[in-house]
Amino acid sequence: MGPSMEITLFNTLTRSKAPLQTVAPGKVGLYTCGPTVYNYLHVGNYRTYVFEDVLRRGLGYLGRDVYHVMNITDVGHLTSDADTGEDKLELGAARTGKTAWEVAEFYTQTFVADSKQLNLLPPHVLCRATDHIPEQIELIQKLEKKGFTYRTSDGIYYDTDKFADYGKLMGASHKEGIKAGARVELSPEKRNPSDFAVWKFSPKDKKRQMEWDSPWGKGFPGWHIECSAMAMRYLGETFDIHCGGVDHVTIHHTNEIAQAEAATGKPFVSVWMHGEFLLMNKAKMAKSAGGFLRLADLEEKGFSPLDYRYLCLTAHYRKQLDFSWEALEGAKTAFRKLSDRAQMLDSEAKGGASDPKLAEFVERFRGRVADDLDMPGALATVWDALKPGALSEAAQLAFLTEADSVLGLGLIKAASDGLSADLQALLDQRAQARTNKDFKASDELRQKLAQAGVLVEDTAQGQRWVRR
């Protein structure tokens, strides 16, 4: 990895591409909205998480030190955007005969398991809304003190008229629609159609399974407050990149900005990035629409999670992707060909990788990643590098190993095979030693690992290892 390269990203906020500038040079604070855990996730959700994983890997590959925070929405998600209707988790509990807590835990675990199969790097912090109720209450209190909230019979609401910049993320045309009340029905007690609940009171006639005491009465947090509160808790009041699917632009992220910026008076996020939808039969794949597919449904038809990951890589994240079995079949064929080739090179390629053309391919690949994550372009570069005679086999292997740190397809098995517990323990100790700046200990551990055939290398993202 050479010196860090400029990275250009499309920012929903400015509706344009610009070079990434971060609060701290070389470091990126990244927040990605996690799932609502009242049901299985569908492959549409995973398209967004694959995009975010490629972003994280790409930033790391291009020399940035990424700190990734993702939330788990395990409370208080209502069935409609209008802050009315029933709670999805409590509905899920009624449907399955489990408690709301058990439902949330069950689907959180399925999400973690699926994520592993898709080679999604685990976030540095995976934070549950229910573990951060005090932070959410504190943020609401700040908003209350500054006069941004009002009380109705069912909760505490955010007055969007008080925040001059409300709706800046979605642009003027959308904003007018929302003001006119096109988006949500106007509850008689709401001052503006776009106002939203930050705290909801528990119903008087029904005991909720998830509820907390607050200065305003027993209840639960609104839809959006958890992300503003947890993002600021872990990444600071202003941080670098915040992502989600495009459906989050007009409501969820718009409201996150309103809450955070009203409370702090500072810009919340520099770059907002949104992944386009996976479509099924020309419509957004959605949990509520019935016709949705899980990873397990793909596996039943003989497709691995990584076949699906490959399919995601073939489309730019800002373009819609039509799901079809034919497209998935095509992705599977290409991915298996790539992976077979990688295996062959891994076992047979000999000699040094010092092919003068290697640097050219690497540069081209880096350029595609740095250009707003042009993964179709990056994949095309990979296929070009594998053409007979394009590079020596050793150089092809070196190139694929590098490219796969972004593609995340697990192409080079030997390098991605797990280590024994003993060796892993040495690696962990060494990481700790480096954190403690105990370089003498870290060097000794490096030597021990080398004797056991594991070569350790320090990168901006921490230590990396390969087998000798």
SS (H, E, C) 214-278: CCCCCEEECCCHHHHHHHHHHHCCCEEEEEEEHHHHHHHHHHHHHHHHHHHCCCCEEEEEEECCE
Please compute Rg for the chain using Cα positions: 24
Give the number of other Cβ atoms within 10 Å of residue 401's Cβ. 19
| Both structure tokens of 152 | 């109705």
CB of 77 to ligand AMP, least distance (A): 8
Cβ distance 408 to 417 under 8 Å? Answer: no
If one asks whether residue 44 binds ligand AMP (CB under 6 A), the answer comes out as yes
Between CA 12 and CA 356 the distance in angstroms is: 39
Q: How many residues bind ligand AMP (CB under 6 A)?
A: 17
Q: How many residues bind Zn ion (CB under 5 A)?
A: 2
Q: Which does 155 bind (CB under 5 to 8 A by kind): Zn ion, ligand AMP, none?
A: none
If one asks whether residue 375 binds Zn ion (CB under 5 A), the answer comes out as no
If one asks whether residue 75 binds Zn ion (CB under 5 A), the answer comes out as no
If one asks whether residue 247 binds ligand AMP (CB under 6 A), the answer comes out as yes
Between CA 374 and CA 370 the distance in angstroms is: 8
Where in 47-106 is the site for ligand AMP (CB under 6 A)? 47-48
Q: Which does 47 bind (CB under 5 to 8 A by kind): ligand AMP, Zn ion, none?
A: ligand AMP
CB of 168 to Zn ion, least distance (A): 17
Between CA 230 and CA 40 the distance in angstroms is: 23
If one asks whether residue 309 binds ligand AMP (CB under 6 A), the answer comes out as no
Site string for Zn ion, 221-240 (x = CB under 5 A): ------x-------------
Dihedral class, residue 302 (left if φ above 0, else alpha if ψ from -120 to 50, else beta)? left
Q: Which does 227 bind (CB under 5 to 8 A by kind): Zn ion, ligand AMP, none?
A: Zn ion
If one asks whether residue 253 binds ligand AMP (CB under 6 A), the answer comes out as no
CB of 409 to ligand AMP, least distance (A): 20
Q: Considering only residues 27, 175, 191, 284, which one is a binding residue for ligand AMP as defined by CB under 6 A?
A: 284
Q: How many residues does the chain have?
A: 468
Kindly tell me which of 20 and 227 has the beta carbon lying closer to Zn ion.
227
CB of 232 to Zn ion, least distance (A): 12
Distance of CA 458 to the CA centre of its chain: 25
Site string for Zn ion, 98-137 (x = CB under 5 A): ----------------------------------------
Q: Considering only residues 76, 92, 167, 245, which one is a binding residue for ligand AMP as defined by CB under 6 A?
A: 245
Which residue of the chain is nearest ligand AMP when measured via CB?
245
Residues whose CB is less than 8 angstroms from the CB of residue 424 and which lie 6 or more positions away in sequence, other chains included:
418
CB of 287 to ligand AMP, least distance (A): 7
Output the CA torsion sign for 297, 298, 304, 307: negative
Residue among 142, 130, 68 nearest 105 (CA): 130
Q: Which does 305 bind (CB under 5 to 8 A by kind): ligand AMP, Zn ion, none?
A: none
Kindly tell me which of 89 and 197 has the beta carbon lying closer to ligand AMP.
89
If one asks whether residue 36 binds ligand AMP (CB under 6 A), the answer comes out as yes
Dump the DSSP string for 94-139: HHHTS-HHHHHHHHHHHHHHHHHHTTPPPPSEEEEGGGGHHHHHHH
CA angle 120, 123, 129 (to 5 degrees): 120
Q: Considering only residues 13, 28, 30, 33, which one is a binding residue for Zn ion as defined by CB under 5 A?
A: 33
What values do phi and psi take at 451, rounded to 5? Answer: -60, -30
If one asks whether residue 157 binds ligand AMP (CB under 6 A), the answer comes out as no
Kindly tell me which of 167 and 275 has the beta carbon lying closer to ligand AMP.
275
Three-class SS of residue 285? coil
Cβ distance 126 to 166 under 8 Å? Answer: no
Can you give the binding site for Zn ion, defined by CB under 5 A?
A: 33, 227
The residue ranges that bind ligand AMP (CB under 6 A) are: 33, 35-36, 44-45, 47-48, 244-245, 247-248, 275, 277-278, 284-286
